[in-house]
């Protein structure tokens, strides 16, 4: 029988981090960030949080990553208070490239249909 605890914890972390980013983090660099996915290791020690950004500018993406790295401690502390886990997972923020890839594929399909 498969153990789905890591996925359930990942969903809970995603919901809580979205709430924390909206209500607790006051850094303007992280205002337009959307959490798209959370992957938690089997032992629940690390959580990789994938986020997307509305802007395609490299400077905005770099600022958003810096803002998330700066707020990592606050987010982890809030998660520790909200979740009933023995140990709060280590947080790793990574940009989700799938949104850009999907936009690129849509653009290629549009170009094919125009020809």
Q: Tell me how far apart the alpha carbons of residues 12 and 5 are, in angstroms, rounded to a whole number.
A: 11
> How would residue 1 be classed by pLDDT, with cut points 50, 70 and 90?
very low
The pLDDT assigned to 38 comes to 94
Q: Where are the domains of the chain?
A: 3-113
Average pLDDT over residues 78-84: 91
The pLDDT assigned to 59 comes to 84
Query: Please, which residues have CB within 8 angstroms of residue 85's CB and are 6 or more apart in sequence?
Result: 9, 44
In sequence order, which ranges of 2-97 are alpha helices (DSSP H)?
Answer: 5-23, 58-82
Find out if CATH 3.90.550.10 is the number for domain 3-113. Answer: no
User: Mean pLDDT for the chain?
Assistant: 89
pTM for the model stands at: 0.83
Average pLDDT over residues 27-56: 89
- Rounded to whole angstroms, what are the CA distances from 110 to 54, 55, 104, 105, 114? 21, 21, 10, 9, 6
Average pLDDT over residues 27-42: 90
The pLDDT assigned to 78 comes to 92
The pLDDT assigned to 50 comes to 95
> How would residue 115 be classed by pLDDT, with cut points 50, 70 and 90?
confident
Classify each residue of 19-36 as buried b or exposed e, where b means 16 or more C-beta atoms within 10 Å of its C-beta: ebbeeebeeebbeebebe
């Amino acid at each position: 029988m498969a153990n789905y605890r890591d996925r359930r914890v990942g969903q809970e972390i995603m919901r809580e981090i979205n709430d924390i980013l909206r209500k607790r983090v006051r850094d303007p660099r992280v205002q337009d960030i959307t959490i798209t996915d959370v992957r938690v290791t089997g032992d629940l020690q690390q959580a990789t949080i994938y986020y997307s950004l509305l802007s395609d500018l490299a400077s905005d993406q770099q600022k958003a990553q810096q803002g998330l790295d700066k707020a990592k401690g606050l987010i982890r502390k809030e998660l520790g208070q909200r979740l009933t886990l023995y140990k709060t997972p280590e947080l790793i923020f990574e940009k989700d490239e799938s949104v850009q890839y999907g936009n690129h594929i849509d653009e290629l399909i549009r170009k094919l249909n125009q020809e």
